[in-house]
């Protein structure tokens, strides 16, 4: 992607958007109403953490198009319910065509629910958000090339999560989580959504 290709581009309504938000029709609503908006709540963050782990090595579009299938398969990503999953549940998930049938990722999602369930209420939320950097120290990215794949904060978050027993949470996955859940605002400077980040995810 050239610097010019990485700048904000007009969408079908004429508004400037991050170029990835126009790369597929499914992305427009996600880009406009979800990505980068603050996400709070243990279950909601567990869902995002799980989906980012499933996305590893794949396109996010693949996950986005299967999100309702994932929610149905993983009991709405309610931590307490997924933490109680058995080997029979894992076998069921491996046969579920509505999700990504990767044994290691499925086992990680269940194991992560058990770790999250062992934390106190609100602790997963507090833990993840404690790594949000000071927005005043981050310049608005002008092009896609200005956006990092990993940061010191995402590396520290991944290390903390792994220390607690979470799986599939490397620095890159942790940064993707931070971007998606509003810990950082990586909408491009000219993107019309950037100034709406104070609004919660829909």
So which residues are the catalytic ones?
30, 52, 60
Rounded alpha-carbon distances, angstroms, from residue 24 to 31, 59, 101, 111, 175? 11, 11, 24, 33, 22
DSSP structure string for 79-127:
HHHHHT--HHHHHHHHT-TTS---HHHHHHHHHHHHHHHHSPTTHHHHH
Tokens of residue 113, six digits: 């629910």
Backbone CA torsion sign across 62, 52, 152, 192: positive
Query: 16-17 and 9-10 as β-strands: parallel, antiparallel, unpaired?
Result: antiparallel
């Amino acid at each position: 992607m050239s610097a010019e290709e990485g700048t904000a581009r007009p969408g079908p309504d004429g508004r400037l958007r991050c170029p990835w938000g126009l790369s597929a029709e499914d992305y427009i609503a996600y880009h406009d109403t979800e990505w980068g908006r603050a996400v709070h709540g243990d279950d909601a963050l567990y869902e995002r953490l799980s989906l980012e782990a499933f996305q590893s090595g794949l396109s996010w579009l693949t996950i986005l198009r299967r999100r309702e299938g994932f929610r149905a398969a993983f009991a709405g990503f309610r931590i307490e319910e997924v933490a109680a999953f058995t080997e029979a549940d894992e076998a069921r998930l491996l046969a579920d065509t509505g999700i990504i049938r990767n044994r290691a990722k499925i086992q990680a999602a269940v194991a992560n629910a058990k770790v999250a369930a062992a934390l106190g209420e609100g602790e997963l939320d507090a833990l993840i958000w404690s790594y949000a950097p000071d927005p005043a120290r981050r310049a608005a990215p002008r092009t896609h090339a200005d956006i990092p794949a990993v940061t010191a904060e995402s590396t520290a978050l991944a290390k903390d999560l792994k220390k607690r027993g979470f799986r599939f949470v490397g620095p890159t996955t942790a940064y993707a989580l931070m971007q998606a859940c509003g810990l950082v605002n990586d909408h491009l400077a000219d993107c019309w959504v950037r100034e709406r980040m104070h609004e919660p995810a829909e």
